[in-house]
Chains A and B, each alone.
Chain A
Amino acid sequence: MFASGDQMSIAETTAGRGGVVGEATPPATAATERPYLRIDRLSKMFGTFRALDDISLTVFEGEFICFLGPSGCGKTTLLRAIAGLDIQSAGRIEQAGRDISALPPAERDFGIVFQSYALFPNLTVAKNVAYGLENRKVPRREIDARVKELLKLVGLGDQGTKHPSQLSGGQQQRVALARAIATSPGLLLLDEPLSALDAKVRVHLRHEIRSLQQRLGLTTIMVTHDQEEALTMADRIVVMNHGVIEQVGPPIEIYRRPATAFVADFIGTMNFVPGVVEGPGRVRVGQVLLNCDMAEEAAGAEVTVAIRPEDIVVHDVRPDEENTFEASLGEMEFLGSFYRSELSDPALGRANLLADLSINRVRGMGLESGGRYRVKIPKQRIRIYPRDTQNG
């Protein structure tokens, strides 16, 4: 959007993105329906290793997208291909209707923030932020005003004269963010921006980045391996593994209805137990018959049954309800706000189930290790996957 030498009016460009910088505007509803970035059949080879395998994805204008996956899944490779830093071997990328597949980074339109911040250590905070504004025939006065505005925006209004090494990690990352959005790019790329920070700072900065992104209506792609980060920040999550996309969807959907066993295992905690399909919507685990929403496989098919520990209910379970059975409670592992315990019963066979029991519930019901209790697994919470695809 900003070929070098372009005259730039700060007021115009920021307003054009639907947010006046610095003013408290109500958060815009995140994404629009207008496609902004189209990725079509992207592949990337490193020698004979296929880092990206035929990836297609559409990102909408104003959307916050997270690429989530274990290390080596290709999420950073995909981000770097979008940035033009490591151009894909094959496939097409289109940004705002323009084919950018082969363009060098300088001819694309994005701002980027890295895990290492990559702040220029010998330049002051203000000079770092101004770096991309200089060399464009913008008057000094305007640059200074813009830098001031940006620093205020990221909450560092009075830190402009310091050098990066004098700031904390969180502050440095804010400077990096301010520098990346200084030129008002159409796309913001975040490469594990919070991974180098302390847990507390990380949680705080998560919200700040998200609200800033919403205020500016800035299309943003963030790479992360931290599922919590992805779940709390993203409009949509792209779960990747081995260079392919496993699932794309809003956080709640990814969590509740993981499309594959890999996603189910990677996000949150999941019990995987072997089961056999008894008929449509009926599956058997050991001797226990369970009703479920899935199980379209033919009767007799061996499947993997997935149940989240927190979905196992122990309170107010009536014996006549469906999907209930008795089980003994194993060792109670204290994990802060809840206990994690293992349920076992001869009827379940070797399939032991982890269950998360809230502190209140344990106290209120007097649950004890070794006791036998009636438990229930809500039908709509059971996921069924073909046996051979289970990675966990």
Chain B
Amino acid sequence: MASIAQDVPARVRPKLGRDDWAMRGLIIAIGLYLVVTLALPLYAMMSKSFEIYAFQPDRIEFQVDEGQGWGPVINALERGEELGVLSRDDLITTADGRMQATRFFPDFSFLAETRYRIRNTQPTKGGFMIRGEQVTHDEWVEYSSADFRRVTLRPAQSKGLGNYLTYFSTPALFSSIENSLMIAVISTVVTVTLAFGFAYAMTRSCMRFKGAFKMIAMVPILVPSLLPGIALVYLFGKQSLVLKVLEWLFGAEAILPLWQTLVQGGYGPTAIYGPIGIVIASVFFTFPHALLIIMTALAIADARLYEAATALRAPKPRIFWTVTLPGARYGLISAAFVVFNLVITDFGVPKVIGGQYNVLAVDIYKQVIGQQNFQMGAVVSVVLLIPALIAFTVDRMVQKKQVALLSARAVPYEPIPNRRFDWLMFGYCGVVAAFILGVLAVCQYAAVIKFWPYDLTFSLKNYNFDVMDGGGWEAYGNSIRMALYTGVIGTGLVFLGAYLVEKGRGFGPGRTMFQFLAMMPMAIPGMVLGLAYIFFFNDPANPLNAIYGTMAILVICTVTHFYTVAHLTAVTALKQMDPEFEAVSQSLKQPFYRTFSRVTVPVCLPAILDISIYLFVNAMTTVSAVVFLYSPDTALASVAVLNMDDAGDVAPAAAMGMMIFYTNALVRIVHAGGTRYLFGRTQAWRTR
């Protein structure tokens, strides 16, 4: 076989055409966008988590002149320990740490005539500071006692594992890991089970109103994850709506003792503030995600397997365990990891209803916003990245196998009507749908009454957002603007990127690299991304610093945050196109952008609209990443929900949350209409 190598012909180096150069340039440009908006910020965050700030009193020396000339040189560390005013723990601090120089002189009085000298022996960072000016050189500086009281020691920065050591030796911090994992696991089990039942009803029964049920099941996607939390507060909180209804039904004497044992025992004033509440709300907002995946897995079932099993006289339960479940196993695993990831990285639910129950995502927020401890925020982010990365990796591996199943030529399964079974399934779906709509109804009800539970008259005062914390109606306007920019710019960027990577010629390493970059955002929790942006873009040395605090950074962050799913949608649509379109165009000597605009975009228009809707809806509801990045001028509706809820304006928070829902629902309806119109108009060539 192998030819005997005498004069082997020279290797051919393909010459690149104009198209190849343009496409490579564009891939590199979009790749660079992802590097700058994802990889570099993450790197900045990683290195931040290793930054340690500590006071360096061993480098500071004092001299005192009490009117008899300069006394002996005093080392600050030695003196501090000698006098017992300084312990090792006092040395660890944050970037903004300050230590009063007078701490080393317990008898200090700023009225005394004493003069002080201070010197930083090692001219590195750290040193000391007075009136905002930092001194790092190693010359003596002299102060009157009136000035000396303003001198503060500054910490020096170094790299090390110190922050991690602190994290893992502080039970209040690392106990969140266990909490987060437990919440995520329980929510996953509950959601996947419920969603499987729902998906089973949708694909295996002949119940009525399937369309309506599916629509209702998708509703949670349209609301911020804060909203179910708020609804639970109303339903089971201190002024429980459920309790009021029960009292009205059975009388307070009958119901109150039972309520107090069941609901108000356990975790404090009401059990709903804590893990139970987090799990219920998490199940609510992750339900549609799990449902979509499991429904797809069940829908691809092969009817022939069922026919064979029935012909072999297998009883129904046996068919379920031997055919249905194994067929959907990849879908179930994939759904489980997606839900796990969503729950463990979610910030809205535990923020609203978590009470004292700490989880990782909220810890990041608390460290950064509450305590301004950015290094510790970075540490928690890195800790949160680990389970998110594992869940992401497993999901990707499983998804690949699911695709392999899909390509098999199967006969689609058609359910057979069965009165009892169909009604049973209808009842089940009815309960789930009622719960979902109930959550919305409670929020809407709370939003339009004056003051629960004391004044139940109708009022729109809760919509007067401008008098409340959070940014007012302007925030709502900002959100819509942000969502529109994200939808338009994001869709363009994502689709072009996917096109180049799918249909480009050659440039293998570049395209592989790009694929990897495009997959990364999915593994990065929103809180982590937002915090990483602070570290990267808020650095004055960064030339992109100018976008910090603007609408641009919110749009960029949101596009990057939701890049992966949009990219995968685009890739799927592009893969369905004939791979030879590009070859034909090249043979006809047409530039790639002409084929792209005249053929690719029109044919993929439904997918492009899907992507833009996905980005719009998520931009409207997202809280996690943008909560670190908005400025007073760019407050967002979803963040306003959070802030109003935080400030105790729960009803206005619910009102704003419902505004987001109505906006998203409207956009969805317009999208559905637009798609239908599009299919009608292009019926001539779309054979579907």
Interface residues of B in 175-233 (CB under 8 A from A): none
B3-46 vs A, CB cutoff 8 Å, 1 = contact: the mask equals: 10000111111111111100000000000000000000000000
Which B residues touch A333, using CB under 8 A?
A: none
Chain A stretch 112-134: residues in CB contact (< 8 A) with chain B: 112, 114, 116, 118, 120-123, 131-132, 134
Instruction: Verify A179–B12 contact, CB threshold 8 A.
Output: no
- The residues of A that contact B10 with a CB separation of less than 8 Å are 90
Q: How far is the CA of A40 from the CA of B580 in the complex (A)?
A: 26
Q: Which of B9, B20, B583, B590 contacts A41 (CB 8 A)?
A: B9
Given contacts A50-B2, A105-B586, A135-B590, contact A123 B598 (CB under 8 A): yes
Q: In the complex, what residues of B have CB within 8 A of residue A163's CB? A: 684-685
Shortest Cβ distance from A308 into chain B, in angstroms?
29
Q: In this complex, what residue of A is CB-closest to B684? A: A163
Given A83-B583, A179-B588, A183-B588, is A122 in contact with B12 using a C-beta cutoff of 8 Å?
no
In the complex, the answer to whether B588 meets A131 with C-beta atoms within 8 Å is yes
Q: Which residues of B contact A108 (CB under 8 A)?
A: 587
Whether the pair A40, B583 counts as a contact (CB closer than 8 A) is: no
Contacts of A83 in B (CB 8 A): 583, 587
In the complex, which residues of chain A have a beta carbon less than 8 angstroms from the beta carbon of B583?
83, 85, 105, 112, 114, 118
A208 within 8 A of B: no
Does B578 count as interface, using CB distance less than 8 angstroms? yes
Which one of B17, B19, B584 contacts A118 once the chains associate, using CB atoms below 8 Å? Answer: B584
B581 adjacent to chain A (CB < 8 Å):
yes
User: If the complex has contacts A90-B10, A103-B15, A116-B580, are A121 and B685 also in contact, measured as CB distance less than 8 A?
Assistant: yes
When distances are taken between beta carbons in the complex, the residues of chain A under 8 Å from B16 are: 104
Q: Quick one: closest A residue to B687, CB to CB? A: A165
B172 in contact (CB, < 8 A): no
Hey, what's the 0/1 contact readout for A154-186 against B, CB within 8 Å counting as 1? 000000001111100000000000011011010
A40 to B10 Cα, complex, angstroms: 11
Select which of B12, B584, B682, B687 is within 8 A of A87 by beta carbon.
B12
- A150 CB to closest chain B CB, in angstroms? 13
C-alpha spacing A134/B11, complex, angstroms = 36
State A311–B57 Cα separation when bound (angstroms): 106
Please determine whether A104 and B20 come into contact, CB atoms closer than 8 angstroms.
Answer: yes
Contacts of A48-92 to chain B: CB distance below 8 A: 50, 53-54, 83-85, 87-92
Q: How far is the CA of A84 from the CA of B12 in the complex (A)?
A: 12
Min CB distance A289 to B, Å, is: 36
Complex-state Cα separation, A182 to B584, whole angstroms: 12
In Å, the complex CA distance between A104 and B2 comes to 28
Question: What B residues does A105 contact at CB under 8 A?
Answer: 17, 583, 586-587
Q: Which residue of B lies closest to A93 (CB)?
A: B12
Residues of A within 8 A of B3 (CB): 43, 53-54
Q: CB within 8 A of A106: which of B9, B14, B19? A: B19
- A2 CA to B2 CA in the complex, in Å? 39
B603 adjacent to chain A (CB < 8 Å): yes
A107 within 8 A of B: yes
Q: Does A202 contact B (CB under 8 A)?
A: no
Residue B599 interfacial (CB < 8 Å) = yes
Return the contact of B13 from the options A102, A118, A165, A189 (Cβ within 8 A). Answer: A102
Which B residues from 564 to 587 make CB contacts under 8 A with A?
578, 580-581, 583-587
A138 shortest CB reach to chain B, Å: 13
Complex Cα distance, B4 from A53, in Å, reads 11
CB-CB < 8 A to B585: which residues of A? 131
Q: Is B602 an interface residue (CB 8 A)?
A: yes
Contact of B588 among A89, A91, A132 (CB under 8 A): A132
Q: Does B541 contact A (CB under 8 A)?
A: no
Residues 135 to 163 of chain A near chain B (Cβ within 8 Å): 135, 162-163
The answer to whether A122 and B603 touch (CB under 8 A), given A40-B9, A135-B594, is yes
Which chain A positions have C-beta within 8 A of B15? 102-104, 107
Residue of B nearest to A54 (CB): B3
Q: Once the chains bind, are B589 and A110 in contact (CB under 8 Å)?
A: no
- A162, B687: Cα distance in complex, Å: 13
A42 to B1 CA separation, bound complex (whole angstroms):
15
Residue of B nearest to A88 (CB): B12
Chain B residues contacting A84 (CB-CB under 8 Å) are 14, 586
- CB of B671 within 8 Å of the partner chain: no
Q: Is the CB of B9 within 8 A of A104?
A: no
**In angstroms, how far is the closest chain A Cβ from the Cβ of B392?**
29
A104 CB contact (under 8 Å) in B8, B19, B594, B685: B19
Contacts of A3 in B (CB 8 A): 589
User: Contact between B685 and A122 (Cβ–Cβ < 8 Å)?
Assistant: yes
Number of interface residues of A (CB under 8 A): 53
Interface status of A101 (Cβ within 8 A of chain B): yes
Q: Of B11, B583, B588, which is in contact with the most chain A CB atoms at under 10 Å from its CB?
A: B588
B505 CB–A CB distance under 8 Å = yes
Distance to closest chain B CB from A349 (angstroms): 33
Q: Is the CB of B12 within 8 A of A101?
A: yes
Q: Give min CB distance, A231 to chain B, whole Å.
A: 27
Flag if A165 contacts B685 (CB, 8 Å).
yes
- List the A side residues contacting B578 at CB < 8 Å: 114, 116, 118
Q: What is the bound-complex CA distance between A232 and B684, given in angstroms?
A: 37
Q: A89-B11, A122-B682, A165-B687 are in contact. Are A131 and B505 (CB under 8 A)?
A: no
In this assembly, does A210 line the interface, its C-beta being within 8 Å of a C-beta of chain B? Answer: no
What is the distance, in angstroms, from A172's C-beta to the closest C-beta of chain B?
12
Knowing A50-B2, A121-B603, A242-B1, the reply to whether A89 touches B12 (Cβ < 8 A) is yes
Instruction: Tell yes or no: A4 within 8 A of B by CB.
Output: yes
Q: Complex Cα distance A40/B1, Å?
A: 18
Known contacts A112-B583, A135-B594, A164-B685; is-contact A50 B1 (Cβ 8 Å):
yes
Q: How many Å lie between the Cα of A3 and that of B588 in the bound state?
A: 10
Q: With A104-B16, A107-B17 in contact, do A92 and B9 touch (Cβ < 8 Å)?
A: yes
Q: When each residue 26-58 of chain A gets 1 if its CB lies under 8 Å from chain B and 0 otherwise, what string results?
A: 000000000000001111000000100110000
Considering the complex, which residues of chain A in the window 1-22 have a beta carbon less than 8 Å from any beta carbon of chain B?
2-4
A58 and B176 alpha carbons, distance in the complex (Å): 74
A111 in contact (CB, < 8 A): yes
Complex Cα gap A88–B2 (Å):
17
What 0/1 readout, one digit per residue, does chain A (237-277) give for beta carbons within 8 Å of chain B?
A: 00000100000000000000000000000000000000000
* B506 nearest in chain A by CB position: A87
Known: A43-B9, A163-B684. A102 touches B14 (CB 8 A): yes
B589 partner residues in chain A, CB cutoff 8 A: 2-4, 106, 132, 183
**A91→B685 contact, CB < 8 A:** no
Q: Which residues of B contact A92 (CB under 8 A)?
A: 9, 12
1/0 per residue, CB under 8 A from A, across B662-684: the answer is 00000000000000000000101
Residues of A within 8 A of B1 (CB): 50, 53, 242
Residues of A within 8 A of B603 (CB): 120-122
Q: Which of A104, A122, A165 contacts B14 (CB 8 A)?
A: A104
Name the B residues within 8 Å of A2 (CB-CB): 589
Q: Is the CB of A106 within 8 A of B586?
A: yes
Q: How far is the CA of A122 from the CA of B595 in the complex (A)?
A: 12
Whole-angstrom CA separation of A309 from B396 in the bound complex:
56
- Is there an interface contact between A132 and B590, defined as CB atoms closer than 8 Å? yes
Within 8 Å CB of B684, what residues of A?
162-163, 165-166
Within 8 Å CB of A110, what residues of B? 587
- State the CA gap A85–B16 with chains docked (Å): 12
Are A123 and B599 also in contact (CB < 8 A) when A87-B12, A107-B17 are? yes
A-B contact pairs, 8 of them (CB 8 A): A54-B3, A87-B14, A104-B19, A106-B18, A118-B580, A118-B584, A121-B603, A166-B684
Additional 20 contacts, C-beta under 8 A, given A40-B9, A84-B14, A107-B15? A4-B591, A53-B3, A90-B12, A91-B12, A92-B9, A102-B13, A102-B14, A104-B16, A105-B587, A106-B17, A111-B588, A114-B578, A116-B578, A118-B578, A118-B581, A120-B603, A132-B587, A134-B590, A165-B684, A183-B588
Chain B residues within 8 Å of A, Cβ to Cβ: 1-3, 8-20, 505, 578, 580-581, 583-591, 594, 598-599, 602-603, 682, 684-687
10 interchain residue pairs of minimum CB distance: A132-B588, A104-B17, A105-B586, A118-B580, A163-B685, A87-B14, A102-B15, A41-B9, A114-B580, A90-B9
